[in-house]
Structure 1
């Protein structure tokens, strides 16, 4: 519904928030596109106009959550409208800012057997935005799947991928990442190893590697003067080795494929060599164009914060965004997916109409006569399908409600 100007205040049927508000006169209802002047001054008495104003005030009180026996002033209604307008502007500003991907590094992507890419990540908003774009561009995942199939790679499970700088695609070693997460949850294991090495006089500033030997014991990898002493300590203190073995058994990973590294800072880092993943990575390295297209597409999901657009509510209650900006369709989609903001805008529009009607009712008799003289012109506008109305203008993060004409050409 579009409440146009001060139109339909007398005999109209208002619908908003699932409620109905009917005029008190006995005449038939008019569409909301009838002229404001014609509705206020044509074929209606001042008594009917006043009755409609009372009904509209009750309507505003209901919107404000006030009981029917409460008292409210037009100034309070105006302040409530300003509050809604501020909330609307903030809601739009924040909503448009979150349409893009806030942290692409927090996302990974699962490629299934059929070539469908699915966004993964802890940030629900980023995941949703990325998935919508991936669903709209299905050929990219299919292209990756075809490249893997051509190379003779048919994994039984989905392949997990990440996007790097410039769109470089990397296969995710899920076993290594899961085990690393478990080790990071037991920081005391890394701390105990570091303290023991420092007591032995071992310099770990350049990093030190460890591997499992044939007996399943963790041992220093490479030449080290204190290697025997270190290996004896590792055998006598198997907590770190046991923690890693437990994780390897859960994922059916051979210990010979694992390397541990302790650097000058932080926890022990684990790497798991997987020949199948190495083959997949070799294929991905040849798909730089696909990776770049995905990266560019996701980077371009946001809306220009300096965008300006106008808002027009249609007869069916939907909202149309008017702008020549390249992001216009994104803003339209945002409102289509946020009906609560559309409802709030319609509420603002209605309360603005009440204020205009209140001002019109305060006209002096001489001004009233002048208004009545142009009744014939207002009737022409109504019959031609054009009417005095409101349209919202969003600029610099704020909403302004402007009066205008719904022109049908």
Structure 2
């Protein structure tokens, strides 16, 4: 990463104007650095004065780098520090812009209440916040979903949880089934014990075996099996799995008649909870186009990290985003919400100006003394050629700090 600058030269010397420094420390040091730059840029000051100002600006750079006044620093170190700041800034901008939107809509769970309000839930806090804001701005989606479900005979009091696929298909989630399965998975030893017992009985689990709870709360084989009696007797003597399942049914308020278990050759037992209301809801959602609306809406929230825009620092220290992108307002809000990032950009801008000043003043000591002694030196700093204040141009995921031209012919 490199910082490019556009400058106007006259006799190998550059005049700077309009650059502001924002100190990372006390207000007095900020005032000192700003005053020093003003002195450096003033066309009426001598080279001696401008050299003194350059020293003050170097102190500002050292302060930004966290160095004490009695430390030593080279312009190469300052430049390297500026490059590090710029790299960190670019990474933060790219990451921040991507987080404006929803990184993965498929990982968000949507809950529809009886009043037709949709609530987003996700393990990713930023995704949840962005999705909820979009849902709140588009309340008709939830009300239309609830209206369609009610028209299909789904009880209005039924809370519906769903997810949306990358193709815009809405899938109803059986939360009770998910909770029970999670509980059974946490006691995987029960599945292992049952499989071992079935193996000893010569049961072939290449075709999964199903189980249900009887009226006494005991598991028993569902369907035809030559070893059914032996298996049921073993299940009666080893009730741990049945007790675990029964406890979860009570917690989830699910009737035992709606539940079945299946055990295959590998893995834990799999629970199935039938729910006619959710089945009817899925039938309605499978025909709905609102899933596509949700998916496309959430995907439109993000900002491309390679978006092009320009940053301009205002007199109050804020920045203004200049861009032809449709996401200009989002980018502006991003910087408004991240003052620390704006401060970092101001440091980069200031250090870029200092580096340009250093390059322009690289003349031989003898020539410098000669010029200082000549009163006409002031005229050397004056004239119409000048560069305006710096601005940041963001393109292809990187920020370049440029000095704008302000030429008079």
SS of equivalent to 1:22: helix
Q: CA deviation at 1:99?
A: 4.2
Instruction: Tell me if 1:22 matches 2:31.
Output: yes
2:384 counterpart (371, 377, 385): 377
SS of equivalent to 2:289: helix
What is the rounded CA distance, in whole Å, between the counterparts of 2:285 and 2:148 in structure 1? 8
Deviates more, 1:58-67 or 1:149-158: 149-158
Contact 2:61 2:351 in 1 (8 A): yes
Specify the alignment match of 1:299 in structure 2.
Answer: 299
Contact 1:41 1:372 in 2 (8 A): no
SS of equivalent to 2:116: coil
What is the rounded CA distance, in whole Å, between the counterparts of 2:146 and 2:122 in structure 1? 21
Contact 2:97 2:303 in 1 (8 A): yes
Question: TM-score w.r.t. structure 1 length?
Answer: 0.82
What is the rounded CA distance, in whole Å, between the counterparts of 2:102 and 2:124 in structure 1? 9
Q: Superposed, which structure 2 residues align to 1:155-166 within 5 Å?
A: 155-156=156-157, 158-166=159-167
| Unmatched runs of 5 consecutive residues or more in structure 2 | 1-6, 8-14
CA spacing shift, 1:406–1:93, aligned 2, 3 Å = farther
CA spacing shift, 1:325–1:157, aligned 2, 3 Å = same
CA spacing shift, 1:176–1:367, aligned 2, 3 Å = farther
Specify the alignment match of 1:192 in structure 2.
Answer: 193
CA spacing shift, 1:376–1:247, aligned 2, 3 Å = same
Q: Superposed, which structure 2 residues align to 1:216-365 within 5 Å?
A: 216-286=217-287, 288-362=288-362
Cα deviation digits, residues 276-300 of structure 1 (max 9, x gap): 32343333234x2111111122233
What is the rounded CA distance, in whole Å, between the counterparts of 1:164 and 1:203 in structure 2? 36
What is the rounded CA distance, in whole Å, between the counterparts of 1:301 and 1:264 in structure 2? 45
Specify the alignment match of 1:384 in structure 2.
Answer: none
What is the rounded CA distance, in whole Å, between the counterparts of 2:336 and 2:275 in structure 1? 46
Q: Superposed, which structure 2 residues align to 1:17-166 within 5 Å?
A: 17=24, 19-20=26-27, 21-23=30-32, 40-151=41-152, 153=154, 155-156=156-157, 158-166=159-167
Contact 1:115 1:145 in 2 (8 A): yes
Contact 2:171 2:282 in 1 (8 A): yes
What is the rounded CA distance, in whole Å, between the counterparts of 2:259 and 2:176 in structure 1? 11
Instruction: Tell me if 1:398 matches 2:398.
Output: yes
Specify the alignment match of 1:212 in structure 2.
Answer: 213
Q: CA deviation at 1:67?
A: 1.7
What is the rounded CA distance, in whole Å, between the counterparts of 1:356 and 1:53 in structure 2? 11
Contact 2:65 2:81 in 1 (8 A): yes
Q: CA deviation at 1:19?
A: 4.0
CA spacing shift, 1:318–1:150, aligned 2, 3 Å = farther
What is the rounded CA distance, in whole Å, between the counterparts of 1:77 and 1:101 in structure 2? 38
Q: CA deviation at 1:352?
A: 0.9
Deviates more, 1:318-327 or 1:352-361: 318-327
CA spacing shift, 1:71–1:282, aligned 2, 3 Å = same
CA spacing shift, 1:266–1:333, aligned 2, 3 Å = farther
Deviates more, 1:121-130 or 1:170-179: 121-130
Contact 1:23 1:52 in 2 (8 A): no
Q: CA deviation at 1:395?
A: 3.1
What is the rounded CA distance, in whole Å, between the counterparts of 2:147 and 2:219 in structure 1? 41
Question: TM-score w.r.t. structure 2 length?
Answer: 0.82
Specify the alignment match of 2:10 in structure 1.
Answer: none
SS of equivalent to 1:141: helix
Specify the alignment match of 1:7 in structure 2.
Answer: 17
Q: CA deviation at 1:306?
A: 4.0
CA spacing shift, 1:201–1:274, aligned 2, 3 Å = same
Q: Superposed, which structure 2 residues align to 1:160-179 within 5 Å?
A: 160-179=161-180
